[in-house]
Structure formats: C-alpha cells, structure tokens
A and B are shown apart, each in its own frame.
Chain A
Amino acid sequence: MAKVLMKGNEAIGEAAIRAGCLNYFAYPITPQSEVAEYLVKRMPEVNGVFVQGESEVAVGYMIFGAAACGERVMTTSSSPGVSLMSEAISYIAGARCPAVFVNIMRGGPGLGGILPSQGDYFQATKGGGHGDYHMLVMAPDGVQEAVEMTMQAFPLAEKYRGPVMIMGDGMIGQMMEPVEFPEDLYVAPTNKDDWATNGMDTRKSDTKNIVKSLYLDPKVLNDHNLLLKSQYDRMKKEDVRFENYNTDGDYDALIVSYGTMSRVCKTAIDEMKAQGLEIGMVRPQTLFPFPEQAIHDAASKKGCKVVVSIEMSMGQMVEDVERVVKGKVPVQWYGQCGGEIPTPEEVIEHIKSLLNS
C-alpha cells in the first residue's frame, strides 16, 4: 500500500479502524480533538460507533461498559482528561477488561498548556488511578510508529485483559508524516465468551458472566492482585520493546529518551558523531514494561561515563533509569517543560558540559 500523508491524530483514528476497533468514545480536548473529528466521519463508513461523552469521567465508563461486552474499544484524550479517566482505568484494570487509551500529552500540572509534554510519565507507568495495577504503555516517536502501536494495542489489551495506553505528545498528534497501515498488524479479536457480559444467548450458555472489581474477602482480593501481578510480570518477559541507537561501538555517554524527545536526541547524536564524539541511546518503546535489562546493559558498557535521561518533563523517567542502572555509572536528568522542547544544540551542549565536568 502506498504511503499517505496524515496528521498523527488522524492516523491514530484510522489505525484503530484498521485494527478492527469500531467503537470510539471521547470528549474534546486540545491537542487531540482531531481524532474525534476524523472518526465522527469515518465510523459511519464502517458501521462503527462514535459517541461524544459529557465528560472524560463518563467516557471512561462508556469504554468500560463497551469493553465488558467484549468489543474492541478506544478513547483518546490529553493529560487533564486522562486524569479524569483514571478512575475508570483503575476499575477496568481491576475488572480485567481489554481497552485502549491514547494520551496525547500536554503541559501540566492543572490546565498547564496545550503544547507537547511528557509530564504524564508517572501517571501512566505508576498507576494514575488508585490500587495495585499497571497498564502496558507504549510511546511512539512519530506518526508511523503511532499507527503501528495503535494497531498492536488491541491484541495486546486482549492478551493481558487490561488497559493499554499509547503515550504520544502534542507534537506527534499534530505533525504530518507519510504513513502506511500494515495489514499484517491486524489480529482477529480473541474469543471472550468465558468472561464477557455479552448476554448468555450470544455465547449459548446457561451460566452468567459478571464483570466486577469488588472482592470483599481479603484472601480473594489478595489472590486477584496476585493474578494481576502475574500479568504484569508476563509483560516484562514478553513485551518489553526498545530501540538502541548508536550503541554498536563504544560511547562516552548514554542517553535514555522516548517519543518526540528521542527524535531530537537522534539528531544531536548524529551531529556529535560528525564531530567525533560517540553517544549511545536506548529509546524505550514501552514505558511499562520498562526496558530494564537493555538500559542496564547499555549503561554498563566499558567507556560509558554517564547516563542522561532526557525528557520533556522535570525528571520522571530518570527515577526508573536510576533504578535499573543500579549505580553502575552516574545518572543525570536533563529536560524542559511546558511545551519547550530541548533543541539538538542544547542537548549537545549539555552532554559536552557533562563529559567535561
């Protein structure tokens, strides 16, 4: 299939349809409203469902209700909206329903701003809502990868029976790039008859299914938490994704960076290479599960003097980087916020000053 030029937000909407998700619920918020504006036109063409909810709180539960029926379902939002959806995400994780959430991050806290940010790393990877749960979180670095991750998110949500989040930022949502929709990424939905509340007649069964997160017996709830944990442990074994950049040879420093920020870092690494300075990078494509071993190994390489977590946030991912480098080499943070994105020149200057100090 030929490549087409698409805005990130629209490409995410189209990718959902190509993945077999014909159910979309959302509430408008900048900088992701184009997804809804695209799907309100596109869903009727494929006999799909489009509902604009009255709030992100309600949308979260529309997603829950639809997912509990075993149907593929997605919503898209941006940071303040994802805060409101976090209650539902916790319930969906507790009730073990597959659902896809897209967060096109903007600056915070509070209303913050509408420009690109990575300030929701903690929210996405450490919980966001209440209780012991995780989501599988994928972070694309461009429109093509946003398409692929969106298509992969649905089978992954079904594999783990839980919420999956795509973490983009305003840049990825708003920029236009040539994309294609790989047909081989379509995976048919799994049979959900053993748990979904799709009506007993649908599954020709006399036994009711209950979708719930309430377990008043402490032992039963503990067992339920252990079951959830086993899914997160399985994610760590089977679905960690990352990209290594310029790590084949030796390097003086290692960058850890994801999403839009990693694109800037690649430019900076190429420029430093031209100047004779070798810098490696590990780009987490999944933020949870975190590429622990890959970063530890890359940081442990002989000659690597320092690891820098470069983020469009005030030092969130750096805590995970420190955790996995385990003191092998010093770990630093560098970043900017509020829609300010470090330029390649600023990254180069920062790396050089670190190596000179």
Chain B
Amino acid sequence: MGKTFSKPEALSDAHTHYCPGCTHGIAHRLVAEVIDELGIRGRTVGIAPVGCAVMAYNYFTCDFQEAAHGRAPAMATGMKRVRPDLMVFTYQGDGDLASIGMGEIVHAANRGEKFTTIFINNAIYGMTGGQMAPTTMPGQRATTAPMGRDVEQTGMPIRMCELLSSLATPGYIERQTLLKPKYINKAKKAIKRAFEYQEAKKCFSFVELVSTCPTNWGMTPQDSLKWAEETLLPYYPLGEFKSPE
C-alpha cells in the first residue's frame, strides 16, 4: 500500500510553538498544501506578522520576511511591485491587521495589490496575552476588558471582509472558518482561489479564517469550537463577499 497522507513540502519539520487546540496549525497546513498543489514554493515569499504567528518563517519552507506590527501589506506591496513574478502572501492576526495595520491593509486592497492575505480572526490578541482586539465580541472578556467588551466605550467589532468588500476596486474577499472539517475544506478552496487570482495577476485576494484561542478565551479547545460557532459565526458570516468575476 502506498503512502496516502504526508506533510506538505511547504511545511518544515519544526515543532510549532502554538498552544494546544489552536487553529494556526490547520491554517498553516492549508496554505502549505495550496503552495504545493500550485507548485510555487520556489517563487513564494511569505510575510509573518507580529502576533502568535510571528515565527511562521520557521514553519514554512519558502522564503520569508518578518514584518513590524500591522505593516505586512506595505511590505508585500514593495515586494510585489519590484518582483511581480514572485507569489507573496501575508499571514496576519486580528490585532495586527484590524487594529494597528488597518491603514496598510485598506490601502493595499484599494490599490488592488496582487498579493494574498490570510487573516486569522480569533477575536483577541494572542501573543501579548489576551487583550481586547477590534474583533472582540460585545461582552467578551479580555485582560483589557475584564468586565467584557463595553461597546459604549470601544465600539462594535470590526468586520474586515465587509469593510474591504465596500471598496470599489475589484478584489477577492472571502470569510471561512476552521472550526469543523466541513468548513476546513471550504477554507482550503478559498485559499487556493486567492492564490490563483494572484497567479493570474487578477486582483488583491483576502481570506479571513474565523479561528479559536482556547488559552486566552480561558476555555478548553472543545468549548472554544462551540463558543466560536455559537458566538462568532453569527456576527462573522461565512462566504464570498466579493470576487473579480
């Protein structure tokens, strides 16, 4: 019997530092599978964020740059403009992308930069230890919102797919999640489409993945999946928001 399952070539052998139950591992794997399937590893450059995925460069086997907090879309712009033949993706969390990096992502999307952004939305700051993010849900507890997010003071959670799809520039914007196998298959399809649009030099492509953070949510991995499905998915609906076709 032949080998039926193996690690993607685009993933390294390094042990990740991610917490048990975290969905980063699945997201990494999906991106790596897509890189393998498209045969683009030798001309792909990833950009790591500041956040839990700051050391993503250790987990992929393609070239990688490490950005400052929120600035990955600007770096991707610089790279893609001077080397349009390279395949470039940024991998960013919600604090990185939707808070400090809001300016960079909106303008890169609006210029129609031909790179791909993988946006991990787990409604909290992970690496710094569970502070409130722009995507934190009303009433959701965080170390900087110990009584739960007070929307009178902090506003409502920002929905990035909806915001980016309001831009008049053509783009590919889709939200998927990693909570269950049926969703994971759709997430992979979205990531592949995003890279294919980039390969065709068609448009900016953006895939949001609603994810979990058991450690900073203070839940077991299983409870996290349940909470995310019940609380996050109604507010962050899945699906394609915009496509260039």
Residues of A within 8 A of B (CB): 23, 25, 49, 51, 53-55, 57-69, 71, 73, 87-88, 91, 95, 197-202, 208-214
Could you say which residues of chain B place their CB within 8 Å of the CB of A65?
47, 65, 74-80
Could you say which residues of chain A place their CB within 8 Å of the CB of B85?
199
Could you say which residues of chain A place their CB within 8 Å of the CB of B67?
61, 64, 91
Could you say which residues of chain B place their CB within 8 Å of the CB of A49?
81-82
Could you say which residues of chain A place their CB within 8 Å of the CB of B74?
53, 57-62, 64-65
Binding stretch for chain A, among B37-45, B186-194, B219-227, B230-238: B37-45
Could you say which of A66, A68, A91 has the most chain B C-beta atoms within 10 Å of its C-beta? Answer: A68
Any chain A CB within 8 A of the CB of B62? Answer: yes
Supply 14 further A-B pairs (C-beta < 8 A) apart from A51-B78, A209-B63. A53-B77, A58-B74, A58-B77, A61-B67, A64-B71, A69-B45, A69-B86, A199-B63, A199-B83, A200-B62, A201-B42, A208-B60, A210-B63, A213-B66
Could you say which residues of chain B place their CB within 8 Å of the CB of A200?
41-43, 62-63
Q: How many Å from the CB of B31 to the closest CB on chain A?
A: 15
Q: How many Å from the CB of B215 to the closest CB on chain A?
A: 19
Q: In the complex the two chains form, is A61's CB within 8 Å of B57's CB?
A: no
Q: In the complex the two chains form, is B78's CB within 8 Å of A64's CB?
A: yes
Contact of A62 among B43, B44, B75 (CB under 8 A): B75
Task: Encode contact with A along B51-73: 1 for CB under 8 Å, 0 otherwise.
Answer: 00011010011111111100100
Could you say which residues of chain A place their CB within 8 Å of the CB of B78?
23, 25, 51, 61-69, 73
User: Given A69-B83, A197-B45, do A210 and B71 touch, yes or no (CB 8 Å)?
Assistant: no
Task: Encode contact with A along B97-114: 1 for CB under 8 Å, 0 otherwise.
Answer: 000000110010001000
User: Given A61-B74, A199-B42, A201-B43, do A55 and B103 touch, yes or no (CB 8 Å)?
Assistant: yes
What is the bound-complex CA distance between A49 and B61, given in angstroms?
29
Q: In the complex the two chains form, is B79's CB within 8 Å of A211's CB?
A: no
Q: How many Å from the CB of B57 to the closest CB on chain A?
A: 5
Q: In the complex the two chains form, is B54's CB within 8 Å of A23's CB?
A: no
Q: In the complex the two chains form, is B77's CB within 8 Å of A51's CB?
A: yes
Which residues in window 12-47 of B have CB below 8 A to A? Answer: 41-45, 47
User: Given A58-B107, A61-B67, do A69 and B79 touch, yes or no (CB 8 Å)?
Assistant: yes
Q: How many Å from the CB of A49 to the closest CB on chain B?
A: 5
Q: In the complex the two chains form, is B107's CB within 8 Å of A54's CB?
A: yes
Q: In the complex the two chains form, is B104's CB within 8 Å of A61's CB?
A: yes
User: Given A61-B68, A199-B43, do A208 and B75 touch, yes or no (CB 8 Å)?
Assistant: no
Q: In the complex the two chains form, is B66's CB within 8 Å of A211's CB?
A: yes
Q: In the complex the two chains form, is A91's CB within 8 Å of B61's CB?
A: no
